Structure 1
Amino acid sequence: MPAISSEPLRATQPPAELHLRSYRAETLTHSHDFPQVVLPVSGRIALDIAGRQGMADAANAAFVEPHARHATSAAGLNSVIILDLAPSMLTAELMERLAPRPFMPLSQAAGKLVDFMALAMGQQHKMAPAQLQHWVPLLLDTLAMAAPRPHSRLHALMAKIEAEPGLPWAVADMAAAAAISPSRLHEWFQQEIATSPRAWLAEVRVRRACELLSTSALPLSEIALRCGYTDQSALSHAMRKLRDTTPAAYRRAAHAATA
């Protein structure tokens, strides 16, 4: 819990960051120059956001626009996900939807996103920037009750694939998961990250393989299967192509670097 203060706290623009916090009965009053989303996992949080009072709980979220002075307090046990956003992550349209109504009900879809966040943070303590990049746009669209933008739908798909890279993700399967055609999927990937679905998937799988090679003692054949390769030979071919090395050599170098 941050120190209690009655003075505004000014901070520089952060990247998207998640924090799992709990609050006490004493009132914390401050402001910051970036937007923030308050997503209680359990308990109830009382907020005063620029003079507008309300409650946030497991069924209701709160949005704090940049520079809005806000006070927070709670009675009883609570657990709250705080999402700090860079202002650039909010379009003008989303800001117009969220700012006038800082207290909003959580839809079933948004609730599931929050549950996923809480579970991931409980397991990892801190979400990786890539994970945040994928689900934040979808969360914001859901909170604003707007139809998910192509940007959000694409990143939701990417998050799903990165969570299970070992599945047999053909381009047709990826397109079906996003409920679009393969040709549209190619367009989205080119517009968003300037690459093809297949090339992006290849990089995701190699990156996951490198993580496992560095942090585990799993056999190479097991790592290959977990990362979506048919066998160890396919993993070796992919690593030679994308990392100019072999799995065994990469593991040796990683272990030597940490010895």
Structure 2
Amino acid sequence: MAEVDLSVQRYSAEVIAHRHAHHQLVLPVEGALSLSVGGRELRAAGLSGVLVPGEARHAFAAPDPNRFLVIDVPLAAAESLGAAPWIERAAGGPIALDGAAALLVRAAAVELDAGGSAALRRQWAGLLVLTLAERAARAPGREPAKLGRALRYIEEHAHEPLTVAEVAARAELSPGHLHHLFRAVLGTTVQERVAELRLARATELLSRTDLGIAEIALRCGYADQSCLTRSLRRRHGVTPAALRRAARAARPAGPGRGGG
């Protein structure tokens, strides 16, 4: 029987297009990947992955250094795991990662970098697929689609002032219902999700560009540089300048290439 498998991939700026029979989860570890899946433009970065459906032609490219966890999920394996209904619903769209799921992704990447065996790769792949599927299953009926709309709106507008009422209106939910859905499915709140995305984008810009810290703060939705500094110090215990120095010291000589 076909089984799930897991790999760490690095993508280049060259646009590559292909298709494969299995479903594929593309989950960010660092950097950003632009994808076109069945004519839909998607982005895997920060707390958003992408689920590429089997047999779907897709193109992808990443101009900057990056690293992604890629899970190949044959249909038989999805059915064996009990994840086939979720994959059918979510295929071709973004996959939201909460803080716990993002930590699992990073932990799996560390294990693979250390030379994990094929058996260990399959165990990690199954755990990640089940984690994402079961979190999505906590939202009954049509609510996964509404939650997806809310997450996409937050992803696209996190750099702007956002209110819970505004996001709820886009998802066609009441603010209270949206809050409940975020808590039940993602274990977080709308405000926390916005804060996580802003910080993830600021961290990426600090690590990969030479933009001024004040400009990065404004681009990512912070009122000023001091707000970014407080947020980064509270979450990671470092200042923007210290994070930038560490990223430059660890930066590889050039971007890598990978498959999708």
Q: Looking at both structures, which has the greater relative contact order when contacts are Cα pairs under 8 Å and sequence separation is at least 6?
A: 2
Taking structure 2 as the reference length, the TM-score comes to 0.49
